[in-house]
Structure 1
C-alpha cells in the first residue's frame, strides 16, 4: 500500500492541545503526510506536535470555518500535492487510527472510492456508546439514508473516513457544508458520482473531550438541512440528470397525495363546523386520491432504493 499510494491524513485542529500529540504519534507508518489545519483554535498547537510525525504541514485559517471547512482546506492541499488517498482524523483522540489500514484497503483494491467507520457493526462497542448518542445516531442514520440516497449506508455522521483524491476532484466543494453537516453533505455529493462506499466496523472511543454539539439540538440543526438535501437530490436525480418512470410517479403521486390530504382536512373542518356528515362521494374521492398518490410515491421510493449506489 505504502509503495503504490501516497496516503495523507487531514486533521482539523480546534482546542485539542491535550490530545493532538498523542493522535499524531499513533499514526501508522503507511501515512505519507499529515495536514494539520488550525481552524482559529483558542488553544495554540503544541510545539512538539510538529515533530510528533515525520512529515507534518501546518496550515492556519484566518477565520474559523468549522470542521468541514478545515477538512476541505486539507483536501485542496492533498490534491495539489498529488496525494492518492486522504483520511480525515479528528484531533481529540476519539478515533482508533490502527484502523487506517482497514479504511484504505478497499480504496487500494479498487472496490470502493470512499470508506468510513461504522460504530454500529461492533455490538460490544455499541453497548459502550452513550445512550443519547446511540439514539441520535440511529435517528440521523435513517433520515440521512433518504436524504443522500445511500439507503444501505449506516452511521453516516461518522467522521473517520478515507477518500480517493480522484473522487474529490469531481466533487463541488461549494455544495459541501463547512460545519456539522459536513459528512452528510459529502456523502450526498458522492451520490451523483455513483461512488461505492465501504463501511468498516470499528469501535468509537469516548474520552474526556466533549463535543460542542449538544445532542438534543441535533434534530433542529440537521432536519431542515436533510429536507433540503432530499429535495435537491430528487430534483437533480429525476428531473435534471435523468427522467424515468420514477420521475412520473413523483410528478403524479405528489400532487395527488397532497391534494387528497389537504382537501380531506378542509372537508373535515367544513362539515364538522356545520355539524353534518360529509357526502359519501366526497369521502370516497378524498380516500381514493390519497391512496393512489401514496401508492405512486411508494413505487418511487422502491425504485429509488433499488437504484441506490452500492454500500459494502
Structure 2
C-alpha cells in the first residue's frame, strides 16, 4: 500500500524479451498488484513474464499473507482472497495493441478494487523510482489522473530526437483541442496513474485499443469532469525497437481525435450540460468551409471565365475570417470551462 491506498500497476508487453523481467523485478515494494499483460508476443516475452512472476510471487508469499491479514478482504479475479499473487501474468491469444493490453489490466484492477492503477511499459523506459510522483496528486485528492510530461523542460527533452519532439508537439496541440485539457502536454506519454473512481466512470470497456489509447482516454476523462495533472519526467529511450507503423498511426489517431472531439462537444456541452461553445465550433467550421469554397470558386471564375475577382473574393475571405473568429471564441470558452480541471 501507498499512503493507505492500494496500488496496482499494469505492464503491457509486446516482444519485450530481455526487458519486461527487469521491469517486474524493480517495481516498488508498495505496489500491491502487478498485471503483466503479454499481447501475443512472438518472442520469449511470455516465458519471461511467467518465470519472473513465479520468482516474485514465491519470494513475497509471507509478506503477502501478512498484508491479507491486515487488509479488508476483497475478492480477486481468480475467486481467491485479494493479493494472493503480487504478479498476475495475463496472455492475449491475439494481438490487440497496447491499448488493448492496458484495457485488460484496467479491468482486472477494477475487479480487484484497486484504489490507484498505474501503467508502466514493459520496455524499461519508465523509471519505477518516480512512481510516487504519479500517486501523490491522486492520494491527496488533487487529481483523478496523472501522466508523465517529457516536454516541460529542455533538460528532460535531451533524450528525444527532433523528429519525435516535432511529432509529439503536433499531437499535443491536436489533443488539447480534442480533449479540452489546454494546459496538458505530452499526451503520448504512457506513464500514467488513474483513480478507481475515474476508472469506473470513463467506460473503460470502450477504450481505444490502438496506440492512440492515451489520447482517447483523455477525451473521456474530460467528458466525465475528471481532473488531471502532468508529472515532469525525462525522456528515456533504450535499445528496444518500436513496433509502431507511423503512417498508419498518424492516420488512425487523427481520425480518432476528430471523432472524439465531436463526441466530447455533444456529450459535455449539449447532453450532460449546455454551453454555446459547441454551437460556436459548429457555426465557425461551417462558415469557414463556405468561405474556402467561395475563395476557390472566385479564383476559378477569375482564371477561366475572366470574371471580376474583387467583390466575390472579398465576401468569401470575409466569411472565412468570420468563421475563424467563431472557432477562436469557441476555443477561448473551452479553455475557461476547463481551467479548474488541470492541476
TM-score when normalising by structure 1: 0.92
The question of whether the paired residues in 2 share the 8 Å contact of 1:115 and 1:200 is answered with yes
Asked if 1:33 is matched to 2:37, the reply is no
Tell me the SS of whatever aligns to 1:36.
strand
Q: Which residue of 1 aligns with 2:253?
A: 222
Alignment-derived partner of residue 244 in structure 2? 213
Partners of 1:179 and 1:291 in 2: CA distance: 36
Map residues 132-281 of structure 1 onto 2, 5 A cutoff. Answer: 132-215=163-246, 218-278=249-309, 280=311
1:301 aligns with 2:304: no
The SS at the match of 2:8 is: strand
Counterpart of 1:10 in 2: which secondary structure? strand
Query: 2:51 is matched with which residue: 37, 41, 48?
Result: 48
Structure 2 CA distance for partners of 1:252 and 1:3, relative to 1, 3 Å: closer
Find the counterpart in structure 1 of residue 316 from structure 2. 286
Match of 1:18 in 2: 18
| Range moving further from structure 2, 91-100 or 223-232 | 223-232
Equivalent residue number for residue 6 of structure 1: 6
RMSD of aligned residue pairs (Cα, Å)? 2.0
* TM-score, normalisation: structure 2: 0.84
Instruction: Return closer, same or farther for 1:292/1:179 CA change in 2, 3 Å cut-off.
Output: closer
Counterparts of 1:68 and 1:266, CA distance in 2: 44
Distance 1:125 1:248 in 2: 40
Deviation for aligned residue 1:211: 1.1
Segments of 5+ residues of structure 1 without an aligned counterpart are none
Cα distance between partner residues in 2 of 1:279 and 1:166: 58
Distance 1:134 1:247, change over 3 A: closer
How far apart in 2 are the matches of 1:39 and 1:76? 15
Which consecutive residues of structure 2, in runs of 5 or more, have no partner in the other structure?
61-85
Q: 1:259 to 1:213 in 2, by over 3 A?
A: same
Which range moved further: 6-15 or 124-133?
124-133
Structure 1 residue 147 displacement after superposition? 1.4
**Cα pair distance change 1:279/1:82, threshold 3 Å:** closer
